[in-house]
Amino acid sequence: MRSLTLAEARERSELLTVTSYAVELDLDQGAEVFGSVATVRFTCHRPGEPSWVDLKARSVASITLNGRDLDPAAVVEGRLPLPDLAADNELTVVATMAYSHDGQGLHRATDPADQRDYVYGHLFLDAAPSVFVCFDQPDLKAPYDVTVNAPADWVVIGNGAATQTAPGRWTLATTRPLATYFVTVCAGPYVSVRSEHDGIPLGIHARASLKEPLERHAAELFDVTRRSFDYFHGLFGIRYPFGEYHQVFVPEFNAGAMENPGCVTFRDQYLFRGAATRDELLSRANTVSHEMAHMWFGDLVTMKWWDDLWLNESFAEYMSHRCLVDATDYTDAWVDSSIVRKVWGYGAERSPSTHPIAGVEALDAQSALQNFDGIAYAKGAAALRQLIAYVGDDRFVAGVRAYLSEKSYANGTLADFLAAIEQASGKDLAAWSQGWLLTADRDAISVELTTDGEAPGAHVTAAAIRRGVPSAHPADRPHALDVAGWTDGAEVFRASTTLTGPEATLDGLRGKPVPAVVVPNASDLTWARVTLSESTIHALPVQLSQIPDPQARAVVWSSLLDAVHGAAVAPATFLHVFECVWPSETNSSILTRMAAYAEHRIVPFFVPRAQQSRALERLASSARALLDTATPGSTESLAAARLLAGANDDEGLLRSWAEGEGLPLGLEDDGDFRWIVVGNLATRGFIGAEEVEGYRLKDETLQGSLNALMCRASLPDAEQKAWAWDQLTGRHDRSNYEMVHLARGFWSAPEDALVEAYVERYFTEVPEMSGWVGEDALSRVVRVAFPRVFTDETARLSAATLTRDDLTPAVRRSLVDADSELREALASRRAYYPEA
């Protein structure tokens, strides 16, 4: 299918104005297809000229334009030509559409728990034409009238309030003007919990098999929803404009959530079946607030073209964290951002695919999707914090209010937003935006102290903070930040500054005692590569756990991760710091995320395979130490148990836990925890395919089936690897989630020899999957399935593949990023394990 180009979008929006859509979906035609009857009314500003409309149908029964029939065979590559348009036009298309199984379009999934089917629409980025005929670009917004015919036992939820007018017949209220990619319908035997707040009807919905966790988590979800509504109403000065507010937890969802007005969709893993750590609840609360912020940023005011995606995501990212800190109990949300979101964004910034936050002219829609990453989210949010430091919060909020009011129900651009902030603040933002928004990469920040002797007992005689500008992407970015130092848990100094050049003196530090640990950007206010001094890194095993400020500890951990990826700190140094301080960590986000990074990133990527067992045992020892001291049932206990379940090699303990014996308190009947244990048993070859199937039979749910696939793919057996590879790359109608779980398990192996034959096959067979897997889903498969055989030969094959000119944009971007991670691992291994 052709991807819409920017030039084409501009041409069409200049020619047409869409006035309304009437869409009727028949979801009662079986499990493979559904009926779509759509009428589009639109005006043409230059009558007599032609245009086209987007349509990706399985088959087309009829097309009528202004009373005359058009030939269905005229649809080519997803486009239907529209000849000789009138001033006022009406187009009706009767078509049969195909359900998807890759998370795009109208996705249909079967729940193994009860064999009942569920449908939801995910029309981002260009999937709307696979559901109804439309002018599929974000600046041709229009109101929608949607009716749905569904099986009699199904519930229907959508952008407008749903009313059942007859058995299986539903009518949705007319919407406000929406971009095509925000339209959704969720249908199936969903179970619901309903409430109301400030005159807004609220609903949360999930599969019938998730009724218990839905009801268990409903109070928390509604509480965050209510607090977010109140906060955003007060901050923006504009009430929520889309009627009812539904949040639907759907199966096999590609992203975390999608901000469909009035009907937000979430991945249903957020309805935790078993125990959940505090940071998991915080992450879910952040997602709830993030999607609500989109009701203003993205839904009320929509970007004109995909190159302003940051106007959606950066704002929602910033606003959700701000809301959690100011209006909920999750006051440490910025700590979570530092150790989760910014680490994600820094990874994107290290890759050759790095790009500016804004101003990247996406020449077509699919190319725009490639910038939908941690830069658009985390770096964008950090840039907004810097903008607030530059213009002042009151003026920033005033500008935001003006922007939202002026562009309501329409479209905005970077220029529109900056003009609103300039008007409110009286400041020219041209230079600021050039450095922060329009230039890629990040500066390096370091602090140098001159002292009158050796610590302890020495004092600072001079202090300077330095900014290193990346040579490939030079820019002049001002940084509002602070520097802090600690010794034995006592804060020795803290100084705030705005760095506007290569170097600035910190006169306030003169005469202060020399601290054991110095942390640049201690409050994590800016976006930069934080470089810790050698003396600070040397002191961390003793000092880090004593620092009482969790924000500063998060900055330290983030800096260490960055340095390992850059071959500036040895993996062994990282693991030593982990062993010494992790069991004493008190912040939930740092505790759980650093365990995950250590187990799933540092060890498998940066430690040679022959030494990984010993490295994992070091992690397991840390987990045992924490589990022995943690309060039973606490986040600390759960984090320790999970790490121990995944890292230790005690077959007896693993088997007993898998059978539910001797479990730590709070993990009884926790199916998700059991799969961590079973996954470890499978990876080490302690069990086989038959035993994996036995555990699946104990958990005949969607998540249980997926985990069983991952465990079977991880078995250290040549026959099972061959089966898993065929299931992953062959045309077996596997869902997006099934492919990802097969990929997650495949490269687990006790030695490279078991899987190295598949390295070359990956670079030929996985890109070919673009013929039957959607771009959004395939981009994830390409990344997860990238070979975990860290050799020069893998790098050679990867580089050769990237020279091909037939790769789709999604495949190429994922390959570029995975290749970058491979080369980071190789550089680190060469530096610190030259003999391996």
Task: List active site positions.
Answer: 291
Q: How would DSSP label each residue in 186-232?
A: EEES-EEEEEEETTEEEEEEE-GGGHHHHHHHHHHHHHHHHHHHHHH
How far apart (Å, rounded) are the C-alpha atoms in residues 417 and 411?
Answer: 11
- Angle at the Cα of 99 from the Cα atoms of 96 and 105, rounded to 5 degrees: 100
Say which amino acid occupies 275: A
- Bridge partners of 17? 43
Q: How would DSSP label each residue in 497-530?
A: EEE-SSEEE-GGGTTPBPPSEEEETTT--S-EEE
Give 634-639 contacts, CB < 8 A, sequence gap 24+.
Answer: 635/277, 635/278, 635/279, 635/588, 635/591, 635/592, 636/586, 636/591, 637/664, 637/665, 637/666, 638/275, 638/277, 638/664, 638/666, 638/667, 639/277, 639/588, 639/591, 639/592, 639/595
Query: Token pair for residue 683?
Result: 């990876």
How far apart (Å, rounded) are the C-alpha atoms in residues 697 and 691?
Answer: 10
Contact by Cβ (8 Å): 186, 205: yes
How many Cα atoms occupy the beta-carbon half-sphere of 228 within 13 Å? 28
Radius of gyration of the chain (CA): 27
Say which amino acid occupies 115: Q
How far apart (Å, rounded) are the C-alpha atoms in residues 758 and 723?
Answer: 12
Sequence-separated (6 or more) residues with CB below 8 Å from residue 93: 36, 37, 38, 55, 57, 60, 62, 63, 64, 80, 132, 133
Contact by Cβ (8 Å): 783, 814: yes
How far apart (Å, rounded) are the C-alpha atoms in residues 519 and 533?
Answer: 9
How far apart (Å, rounded) are the C-alpha atoms in residues 281 and 592?
Answer: 12
Residue pointed to by tokens 């006592």: 490
Say which amino acid occupies 270: Y
Residue 466: Cβ-neighbour burial (10 angstroms; 0-12, 13-18, 19+) = middle
How far apart (Å, rounded) are the C-alpha atoms in residues 773 and 165?
Answer: 37
In 671-715, where does DSSP find H-type helix?
671-683, 689-697, 702-714
Grouping H, G, I as helix, E, B as strand and the rest as coil, residue 101 is coil
Beta strands 162-166 and 169-172: pairing type? antiparallel
- Bridge partners of 247? 204, 264
Give the max Cα distance, the chain: 91
Distance of CA 286 to the CA centre of its chain: 12
Contact by Cβ (8 Å): 775, 590: no
- Phi, psi (deg, nearest 5) at residue 600: -105, -5
Contact by Cβ (8 Å): 734, 728: yes
**First vs last Cα of the chain: how many Å apart?**
46
CA distances from 553 to 350, 489, 560 (A): 22, 11, 11
Beta strands 116-122 and 105-111: pairing type? antiparallel
C-alpha closest to that of 703 among 390, 252, 224, 166: 252
C-alpha closest to that of 528 among 711, 676, 350, 751: 350
| Cβ neighbours around 505 below 10 Å, total | 12
